[in-house]
């Protein structure tokens, strides 16, 4: 049962990821990536990471990709999709490098197959995760809030029109 | 039984697709989407290893990656909007002002 859910989610994730990077219409790219992120959330839930599965849906599918959609609409989808064909050298070299990444990942990770995963964490992990965040990782946690504030101000400054 | 190998293969396939998107597309938005896909692929590997080792540190890292990805997207999209206002295009090949 678990295996079938995994295969279904993984196949949907890979298929929608392929659509997300190959389709010429940016709106379809973004919507396909939302499907991918939902499938990744399913995989998180399968691995017992319930908080991260929720955060994935809320932050990635809910916030980040909606931001993408807003920008696609703002820039005008027809203008954006008027992309010339990639140059032949870019096409072959890019495909070769991506295949190299895939091969490297496959051969590196092949050594890990065969080992079964540890049994899922008992109950929900949200409580333990929260303890870790405000305990040993408190400094990084606070630092992330500063990073988010800096990004907020940076984005505002970058898009501000000069009068 | 889903082994860690399954998740790692899924992770590397997603990462390669994201890398292909960054390398092959010249649309700035598609490039950013590829970066997001690569970050997510790394997250899958982190959660898989966290489960394998039975501790939650990997999930903490994924939490931080999500926060930093949100910041990265906000700044990246703001850059794209600024570029579009300047060039009336988001073809990343046209950003050649600082070439060599």
Query: Is B100 within the bounds of a domain?
Result: no
In a domain, B11, yes or no: yes
CB A125 within 8 A of CB A48: yes
Residue B57 lies in a domain: yes
Q: Is A4 an interface residue toward B (CB < 8 Å)?
A: no
For the segment A1-47, what is each residue's pLDDT rounded down to a tens digit? 788 888 999 999 999 999 998 888 888 899 999 999 999 999 998 88
- What is the Cα–Cα distance from A114 to B1, expressed in whole angstroms? 10
| Contact present, A102 and B13 (Cβ < 8 Å) | yes
The verdict on residue B33 lying in a domain is: yes
ipTM for the predicted complex = 0.90
Q: In chain B, what residues touch A77 (CB-CB under 8 Å)? A: none
The answer, for A34 touching chain B at a CB cutoff of 8 Å, is no
In a domain, B67, yes or no: yes
Q: What is the pLDDT at residue A33? A: 93
Binary contact (A101, B12; C-beta < 8 A): yes
Range of the domain at B12: 4-93
CATH number of the domain encompassing residue B42 = 1.10.287.3510
Which helix (H) or strand (E) element contains residue A146? helix A138-159
Task: Please list the ranges in chain B whose pLDDT falls under 70.
Answer: 100
Instruction: Kindly report, residue by residue over A77-125, the tens digit of the pLDDT.
Output: 555 445 555 577 777 888 888 888 777 777 776 666 555 555 555 557 7
Give the count of domains, chain B: 1
């Amino acid at each position: 049962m678990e295996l079938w859910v995994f295969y279904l989610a993984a196949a949907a994730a890979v298929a929608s990821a392929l659509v997300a990077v190959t389709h010429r219409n940016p709106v379809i790219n973004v919507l396909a990536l939302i499907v991918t992120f939902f499938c990744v959330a399913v995989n998180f839930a399968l691995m017992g990471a319930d908080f991260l599965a929720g955060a994935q849906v809320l932050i990635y599918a809910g916030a980040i990709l909606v931001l993408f959609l807003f920008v696609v609409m703002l820039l005008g989808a027809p203008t954006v999709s008027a992309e010339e064909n990639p140059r032949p050298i870019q096409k072959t070299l890019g495909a070769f490098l991506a295949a190299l990444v895939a091969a490297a990942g496959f051969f590196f990770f092949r050594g890990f197959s065969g080992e079964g995963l540890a049994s899922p964490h008992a109950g929900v992990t949200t409580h333990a995760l929260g303890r870790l965040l405000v305990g040993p990782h408190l400094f990084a946690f606070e630092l992330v809030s500063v990073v988010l504030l800096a990004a907020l101000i940076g984005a505002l400054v970058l898009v501000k029109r000069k009068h | 039984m889903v082994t860690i190998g399954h998740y790692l293969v899924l992770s590397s396939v997603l990462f390669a697709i994201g890398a292909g998107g960054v390398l092959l597309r010249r649309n700035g938005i598609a490039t950013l989407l590829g970066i997001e896909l690569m970050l997510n692929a790394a997250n899958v590997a982190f959660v898989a290893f966290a489960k394998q080792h039975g501790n939650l540190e990997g999930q903490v890292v994924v939490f931080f990656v999500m926060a930093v990805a949100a910041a990265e997207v906000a700044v990246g999209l703001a850059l794209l909007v600024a570029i579009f206002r300047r060039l009336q295009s988001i073809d990343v090949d046209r950003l050649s002002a600082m070439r060599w």
